[in-house]
Chains A and B, each alone.
Chain A
Amino acid sequence: MLKDLFHKRRQYATLGLPESARQEGAAQKDNIPKGIVNKCKTCGAILMAKELQKHLHTCPHCGYHFPLDAPTRIEWTLDNDCFFEYDAGLTAVDPLAFPDYPAKVRKAVEQTGLAEAVVTGEGTLQGHPVVVGVMDSRFIMASMGSAVGEKLTRAIERAGQKRYPLLLFTASGGARMQEGILSLMQMAKTSAALQRLHEQRVLYVTIITHPTTGGVSASFASLGDIILAEPGALFGFAGPRVIEQTMRQKLPDDFQTAEFMLKHGMIDKVVHRKEMRNTLAAILRMHGSRGWGGGD
């Protein structure tokens, strides 16, 4: 059995991890490959950094997609050296004086080097100008508070003004609890901005990455004209644990995965990370000109 082969490999993982990889405890928790040696979460294969890099942080054996940080995602998606970031200095405050929230944000800033859980801006993809937003799950599970909602809304509005297609790579645990009702209202704010973009007939593509849940799933992530997803990405409203508790029954293994959602008609296409750039470029080409005339 193929699986048995990988079981044997697993034994090696316990020994000889280089010091540099061990120090990355925080990064290992969010499963983002760091250091020289990484282990595939799904098949247990040991992967060298160079090999992983070559495969855009996917496992060459089983196809598992490691999470990506936002800067890397932007680098691998857009054309070289052509990203102009929006609102880089926009940050969260603590509107409800919620215990430990400022410390939590500070820690996330230190660990990620980002100011908030989403990076927005514009650039080109195979020459097509686009507005891009990328969420980073290392930052408080990329939960959406006021700052994330505001950055996204501004990006949506700019896409409308410039008539550039909008690409949003989503990942989120949902609305950010520590900002209470203000977080919930970011769902309404971003969706209202997308309503305008919809009327302006500007292309909006969402790319669901692991995991996209809760308030983000139930607002802008589900509103793309075209919804793509990375293989295996969890995409759902309530988390599987909550559902298992409510229903008191075991859910199928593939529940809420991109493949499951494709089967249930909720997304357009599951796209391997290595194919993403070309797929997006094709979609952009197909929306670049009216071609046949007609319409109004």
Chain B
Amino acid sequence: MATELEFEKPIAELKAKIEELRAFTQQSGIDLSHEVVKLEQRLEELTETIYAGLTPWQRVQIARHPQRPTALDYIHGICSEFIELHGDRNFRDDPSVVGGIGLVDGRPVTFIGHQKGRDTKENIYRNFGMAHPEGYRKALRLMKQAEKFGRPVVCFIDTKGAYPGASAEERGISEAIAVNLREMAGLRVPTVSVVTGEGGSGGALGLGVTDRIYMMEYAWYSVIAPESAASILWKDSALGAKAAELMRITAQDLKALGIIDGVIPEPKGGAHKNPAEAVAAVKQAVVGALEELAGTPVAELLQRRYDKYRVMGVYAEP
């Protein structure tokens, strides 16, 4: 059962009313089917209006929906076979980042992703998808492994940010992310990233320096989570909605700014409404990108990746 978000309540109420009328028709024998049809029409219109006019903040709510498909959902949905691999070989296995090798239509691909949980217990285990340095180092180990065996790398990004805690600082979260940025820029295999939910700050970018970058329709990606921006700018994290508007964080914004290569369509209301459809859309985008990149000579691949990031930024010069 999907939980409704605040702005989806009118839809849920109307749905409940339709059900009520249907039940009444069955019980009483009085034919209200005409009313039901009319209400169903209204439901369709209402749904259309609500989802067509989503504010950035409402999109953030969808991106954070507890039922939203996670990295492992996408990986298992896309692969016929998948072996998860663990650990950074230095300190521990960080459950906030998952990775391994999968077969996509018979071809091997290394998958890496931030992993969130579905319920509180699982989220505590996954640290709410906020990775420690060892998560980024595990990711890098798997990328280097992919490079050795000539497999492309696909990363699913879904994090509010890297874990802002003492343990992360002591073990060098800055260094772990920085090294990933540098090494991903030079990785000698094709790379694709998809922001599936939240793309928060350096913690997101730490898996995101890739040949192709996609975002799911309702995902957000920004230099900082909107409520954190609000608390810095206006000392009030409740103004997250305002910050979400100003900071241009939606998939459509990032496409317009030339940062991402494409927006992957989601089922109306979000991936959680129809996970199978969302998985199919992601698979199509990822496989399409890998087909395009396959066979590009490494020197050209690296040059294009460099050029892609080299032109990012807007400034003035006399």
Identify which of B202, B221, B223, B224 contacts A237 (C-beta below 8 A): B202
| A222-B248 in contact given A191-B182, A243-B165 (Cβ < 8 Å) | no
Taking a contact as CB atoms under 8 Å apart, the answer to whether A175 and B223 are in contact is: yes
| A91-B316 in contact given A183-B223, A184-B205 (Cβ < 8 Å) | yes
What are the residues of chain B within 8 A of A147 when measuring CB–CB?
Answer: 313, 315-316
Taking a contact as CB atoms under 8 Å apart, the answer to whether B166 and A255 are in contact is: yes
A-B CB pair tally, cutoff 8 Å: 187
| A195-B185 in contact given A177-B232, A222-B179, A243-B165 (Cβ < 8 Å) | yes
Interface residues of B in 241-292 (CB under 8 A from A): 246-249, 253-254, 257, 259
Determine, out of A45-53, A106-114, A210-218, the stretch whose residues face the partner at the interface: A210-218
Taking a contact as CB atoms under 8 Å apart, the answer to whether A181 and B259 are in contact is: yes
Taking a contact as CB atoms under 8 Å apart, the answer to whether B313 and A186 are in contact is: yes
Q: In whole angstroms, how far apart are the Cα atoms of A242 and B223 in the complex?
A: 16
B61 within 8 Å of A (CB atoms): no
How many chain B residues touch the partner (CB < 8 A)?
Answer: 53
Taking a contact as CB atoms under 8 Å apart, the answer to whether B164 and A237 are in contact is: yes
What 1/0 mask marks residues of chain A from 204 to 242 whose CB sits below 8 Å from any chain B CB? Answer: 000000000011011111110000000000011110001
Taking a contact as CB atoms under 8 Å apart, the answer to whether B247 and A96 are in contact is: yes
Taking a contact as CB atoms under 8 Å apart, the answer to whether B185 and A265 are in contact is: no
Q: In whole angstroms, how far apart are the Cα atoms of A179 and B229 in the complex?
A: 12
What are the residues of chain A within 8 A of B305 when measuring CB–CB?
Answer: 192
What 1/0 mask marks residues of chain A from 116 to 158 whose CB sits below 8 Å from any chain B CB? Answer: 0000000000000000000000000000011101100100000
B162 within 8 Å of A (CB atoms): yes
B155 within 8 Å of A (CB atoms): no
Min C-beta distance of B159 to chain A, whole Å: 13
| A237-B169 in contact given A181-B254, A187-B202 (Cβ < 8 Å) | yes
Taking a contact as CB atoms under 8 Å apart, the answer to whether A182 and B317 are in contact is: no
What are the residues of chain A within 8 A of B51 when measuring CB–CB?
Answer: none
Taking a contact as CB atoms under 8 Å apart, the answer to whether A188 and B306 are in contact is: no
With both beta carbons as reference points, the residue of chain B lying nearest to A212 in the complex is identified as B174
Q: In whole angstroms, how far apart are the Cα atoms of A150 and B310 in the complex?
A: 8
Min C-beta distance of B182 to chain A, whole Å: 5
What are the residues of chain B within 8 A of A222 when measuring CB–CB?
Answer: 172, 174-175, 177-179
Question: Which residue among A90, A220, A222 has the maximum number of chain B CB atoms within 10 Å of its CB?
Answer: A222
Interface of chain A: mostly helix, strand, loop or mixed: helix
What are the residues of chain B within 8 A of A95 when measuring CB–CB?
Answer: 257, 314
Min C-beta distance of A222 to chain B, whole Å: 4
Identify which of A98, A176, A214 contacts B202 (C-beta below 8 A): A214
| A180-B249 in contact given A191-B185, A214-B202, A237-B177 (Cβ < 8 Å) | yes
What 1/0 mask marks residues of chain A from 151 to 176 whose CB sits below 8 Å from any chain B CB? Answer: 00100000000000000000000011
Identify which of B162, B248, B306, B315 contacts A180 (C-beta below 8 A): B248
What are the residues of chain A within 8 A of B259 when measuring CB–CB?
Answer: 181-182, 185
Q: In whole angstroms, how far apart are the Cα atoms of A192 and B309 in the complex?
A: 8
| A246-B165 in contact given A177-B229, A181-B221, A219-B178 (Cβ < 8 Å) | yes
Identify which of B170, B229, B246 contacts A264 (C-beta below 8 A): B170
Taking a contact as CB atoms under 8 Å apart, the answer to whether B174 and A237 are in contact is: yes
Taking a contact as CB atoms under 8 Å apart, the answer to whether A220 and B178 are in contact is: yes
Q: In whole angstroms, how far apart are the Cα atoms of A242 and B205 in the complex?
A: 20
Min C-beta distance of A125 to chain B, whole Å: 25
Taking a contact as CB atoms under 8 Å apart, the answer to whether B173 and A185 are in contact is: no
Interface residues of A in 266-294 (CB under 8 A from B): 266
Hey, which bits of chain A sit against chain B, CB under 8 A? 87, 89-93, 95-96, 98-99, 145-147, 149-150, 153, 175-177, 179-189, 191-196, 198-199, 214-215, 217-223, 235-238, 242-243, 246-247, 251, 255-256, 264-266
**5 tightest A-B contacts by CB?**
A146-B313, A238-B164, A191-B181, A192-B185, A222-B178
